[in-house]
Amino acid sequence: GNSVTQMEGPVTLSEEAFLTINCTYTATGYPSLFWYVQYPGEGLQLLLKATKADDKGSNKGFEATYRKETTSFHLEKGSVQVSDSAVYFCAFPLGGATNKLIFGTGTLLAVQP
Amino acid sequence: NAGVTQTPKFQVLKTGQSMTLQCAQDMNHNSMYWYRQDPGMGLRLIYYSASEGTTDKGEVPNGYNVSRLNKREFSLRLESAAPSQTSVYFCASSEGGAVEETQYFGPGTRLLVL
Q: Under an 8 A CB cutoff, do B100 and A51 touch?
A: yes
Determine how β-strand A107-112 pairs with β-strand A11-14. Answer: parallel
The H helix count followed by the E strand count for chain B is 0, 11
DSSP run (H or E) holding B81: none
- Residue B42 has a pLDDT of 84
DSSP assignment of A68-112, as one string? TTTTB--EEESS--GGG-EEEEEEEE--TTS-PEEE---EEEEEE
Does the structure show a pLDDT above 80 at B48? yes
Which residue in A105, A102, A100 sits closest to A88, CA to CA? A105
Mean pLDDT of A69-79: 95
Provide the shortest C-alpha distance from residue A80 to chain B (in Å): 23
Does the structure show a pLDDT above 60 at A97? no
Query: Percent of chain A, pLDDT > 90?
Result: 69
Q: Point out the residue among B31, B96, B107 whose CB comes nearest to the CB of A42.
A: B107
- Tell whether A20 lies on the interface with B, counting CB pairs under 8 A: no
Among A23, A33, A44, most B C-beta atoms within 10 A, so best to mutate, is A44
Provide the shortest C-alpha distance from residue A9 to chain B (in Å): 10
Phi, psi (rounded to 5 degrees) for A84: -85, -5
Mean pLDDT of A50-58: 93
- Residue B8 has a pLDDT of 96
- For residue B61, whether the previous peptide bond is cis, meaning omega lies within 30 degrees of 0, is no
- Residue A30 has a pLDDT of 79
Mean pLDDT of B53-68: 93
